[in-house]
Amino acid sequence: MAEQDYSWVYSLVDSSQVSTFLISILLIVYGSFRSLNMDEDCQEKERECSGNGAGASTISSASASNSIQTIDSTQALFLPVGASVSLLIMFFFFDSVQVVFTICTAVLATIAFAFLLLPMCQYVMKPCTPQYKISFGCCGRFTMAELLSFALSIALVLIWVLTGHWLLMDALAMGLCVAMIAFVRLPSLKVSCLLLSGLLIYDVFWVFFSAYIFNSNVMVKVATQPADNPIDVLSRKLHFPQAAREGPRLSLPGKLVFPSSSGSHFSMLGIGDIVMPGLLLCFVLRYDNYKKQSSSANSNGGGCAGGDPGNGMPTFPGPGGIPARMQRVSYFHCTLIGYFVGLLTATVASRIHRAAQPALLYLVPFTLLPLLTMAYLKGDLRRMWSEPFETKPTPSKFLDV
C-alpha cells in the first residue's frame, strides 16, 4: 500500500521526466547565450562601423537589430489576452483552421530549426568553403552554411509530415524555443514581472477554470489535439486515386514530449513553459554581462573601488549587507536554479493530483521571487526595474576616492 501511495516518487526519475528536465534547461541556457552572442556581434559591428565609417557594416548591424523584437509594457499586458483569443479560436474552430495552422507552424519551425542548426553548419563548412555570400535576388544573400542549415531543416520538416514521429516534432519544438528566446527581448524587470504575472493568470485560468465555462479543459484539449496531415487534405481536394494510404495525423510542435522507459506514457511540457521563463533568464544573463563589462571599464578607468559600477552605489546597499559569497552568485545562476525547482515542483504536483498542472503557476514564483530578493539585497532592484542597460554619467565625487 505504501509503495502505491509513493509511486509518484519513483516516477520522478523516469526517463521521460529526466529528459524533460535536461532538455528544457539546456534549451534555455543555449537560447540565452545565443541571444547574448547576437548582441555582442551587433556591438562589434557597430564599433567596426564607427571606426571605419563603412556603410555596409551599418546596414548589416541595422538588419540584425531589426530582427530582434523587444516587448514593451503594453505588449506584455495584452499578450495573455491575445493568447487567450488564439486558444479559443483553436478550441472552437480547429477543424476549419487546422490545415492553415499546420502549414504556418511548419514554415516557422523550418526557419527556427535552421537557426538552431546554423552554428553546427558553420563549424562544419568553415574549413572547406570560403565565407562569401551567394545572391538569390530579392530573397537576399546567404552563406553556404546558412543554405545547408536551411536544406537540412526543410528535409526534417518533410520527414516529420510524412511520418509524424514524436522525435522530429520535438526537434522542431526545440528550434522554436531557441529562436524565440534568442530573438525576443525583455527590456526591464518591470516588463518581465508584467508579462510573467499575466501569463501565470492565463495558464491557471485555462487549465483549472475553463472546464466550468466550456465543459472541457480548453488548454489540455488544444495542446493534445492532433491535426490532419496537409498532404492527405491536399490529396482529397485534388481527388488523387493513388492516395490510398492515409498519412499520420500530426501532433503540432507546440510542446515537448518524451516517452517513459516502459513506453506506457509520455511526459509533456509546453514550449511556453520553456520560452517565457527563458526570456527572463535571457534578460538576467544580459544584465550579468552588462555589470561585468561596466565593472571592467570602471576598474580600468579608476572607478569607485568596491562599488556598483552602474550607479556608484556601495557594494552592500541592502539591509545589513549580504555576504561576499552571495555577491559572487550571478542572477542567471540564481534564476536558473529557481526554474529547476519550479519545474520539479510542477512535476510533483501533477503526479500527486494525477492531473495536468499549469506549469507557470510554479515556474513564475520560483524564478521571479529569488531574482527580486537577490536584486534587492545587492542594491540592483531599482536599476533593473526600469532602465537596466542605460549608461548614466557618474558624478565626479564618486570617482575621487
The pLDDT tens digits along the chain (401 residues) read 445 555 555 556 677 788 889 999 999 999 999 999 988 887 777 777 666 655 444 444 444 556 788 999 999 999 999 999 999 999 999 888 888 889 999 999 999 999 999 999 888 887 776 667 777 777 777 888 889 999 999 999 999 998 989 999 999 999 999 999 999 999 999 999 999 999 999 999 999 999 899 988 899 899 888 888 888 877 777 766 555 456 788 888 889 998 877 666 778 899 999 999 999 999 999 999 998 888 777 666 654 444 444 444 444 444 445 666 667 788 999 999 999 999 999 988 888 888 888 999 999 999 999 999 999 988 889 999 988 887 554 444 443 33
- What residues contact 116, with CB distance under 8 A and at least 6 apart? 174, 175, 178, 179
Whether 203 sits among the annotated catalytic residues: the reply is: yes
Cell reading at 199 = 501569463
Nearest to 72 by CA among 180, 190, 182: 190
What separation, in Å, do the N-terminal and C-terminal C-alpha atoms of the chain show? 70
Whether 170 sits among the annotated catalytic residues: the reply is: no
Catalytic position from the list 14, 170, 273, 380: 273
Look up the domain containing 298 and give its range: 2-398
**What is the rounded radius of gyration, in angstroms, for the C-alpha atoms of the chain?**
24
**pLDDT confidence of residue 333:** 93
Domain count, the chain: 1
Output the pTM of the full model: 0.85
Catalytic position from the list 14, 39, 170, 203: 203
**pLDDT confidence of residue 136:** 73
Residue 232: HSE in the Cβ half-sphere, 13 Å Cα cutoff = 16
Own/partner long-range contacts of 142-149 (Cβ < 8 Å, ≥24 apart): 145/118, 145/121, 146/114, 146/118, 146/121, 148/121, 148/124, 149/114, 149/115, 149/117, 149/118, 149/120, 149/121
Amino acid at 162: L
